[in-house]
Amino acid sequence: MIRIDHEARAEATSKPEEVSPRPSSWLVRHSLVALSLGSVVVVIGAWQLASTYLISPFFLPSPSSIVQAFQHLLANGQLEQDTGISLFRILSGWLLGSLVGAPVGFLLGTSRVAKAVLDPFVHFLRFIPALALVSLFMVWFGVGEESKILLIMYAVAFLVTVTTATGVAAISDDKVAAAKCLGSSGLALFWRVRVPAAMPHVYTAMRLGMANAFLVIIAVEIIAANSGLGYLIWTARLYFQISWMFVGVVTLGILGVVTDRLWRLLGRTLLRRYVGASARY
């Protein structure tokens, strides 16, 4: 009996465990894409039904009427012109704000002296919204493109600065000590340890800064502009063209999704070594 029990136990342990089949990554990925598209179709269908039977089209235009408004504004060239102008202002201010904010953030994260000098101003100014400075920027820099781009730069720079400084300060002391033991110091330590370790924070800050840029540009174009998507939305209100207002809003959403996806694509390809999992969502 003992021998039989041992043989049965040995036979049971020698059998490979049955592994339940797992769906292929291709099937999972395409199922998720189909689920996303399905949710969009359901929402648009519910919107069409609501604007047809429940809510007056004056207050909630149907998707079909918005498509017609898209075609009209594309035909006369207004939508292309306003979209191009707004996108130029957004990208210019976003890039300038990132180019200013990231170096200042690294400086604050690595130098105690710089932090002591600049920290009060950074934390004071970052709580003053860019929208509160619209009139001042118009007076200082005029009503041209400079004031609009600089306002976006202001809104982006402080977000990138604080997030970058946080990332630099969060670097493990053990990692820095190990690099020093291997002979790194000064600029070599900065470029080989601190910059790569803080890159996920810089990447995320620039992604969030893009959303700030979209927020500021609409307010600026509504208050002091004669072109752009914000201007389109504001002037459509004067003529009770509600469908035109929705065209501007939908265009902004599409631009935001496209720019965010392109930034994520850049993170997953060229910057994959530095940003890691930060570009997954």
pLDDT per residue as tens, the chain (281 positions): 444 454 444 454 444 444 444 556 767 777 877 888 888 888 888 888 888 888 888 888 888 888 999 999 999 888 999 999 999 999 999 999 999 999 999 999 888 898 899 989 998 998 998 888 888 888 898 878 888 999 999 999 999 999 999 888 877 766 666 767 766 666 777 777 778 888 888 999 999 999 999 988 888 888 877 888 988 999 888 888 888 999 999 999 999 999 999 998 888 888 777 776 666 76
* Residue 147 CB contacts under 8 Å (≥ 6 apart), including other chains: 137, 138, 140, 141, 220, 224
Measured distance CA(104)–CA(109) in Å, rounded: 9
* Residue 80 CB contacts under 8 Å (≥ 6 apart), including other chains: 74
Residue 21 DSSP SS3: coil
Type of residue numbered 257: V
Greatest alpha-carbon span in the chain: 98
Which pTM does this prediction carry? 0.81
pLDDT value at residue 6? 47
User: What is the end-to-end Cα distance of the chain in Å, rounded?
Assistant: 59
Among 252, 211, 260, smallest CA distance to 233 is for 252
User: 70-279 domain in CATH 1.10.3720.10?
Assistant: yes
DSSP conformation class of 241: -
Q: What is the helix, strand, coil percentage profile of the chain, to 5?
A: 80, 0, 20
The alpha carbons of the chain give a radius of gyration, in whole angstroms, of: 27
Measured distance CA(224)–CA(222) in Å, rounded: 6
pLDDT value at residue 175? 67
pLDDT value at residue 191? 78
pLDDT digits (tens, 9 = 90+) for 236-250: 888 888 889 999 999
pLDDT value at residue 1? 43
Task: Judge contact between 215 and 155, C-beta under 8 A.
Answer: yes
Task: Judge contact between 94 and 152, C-beta under 8 A.
Answer: yes
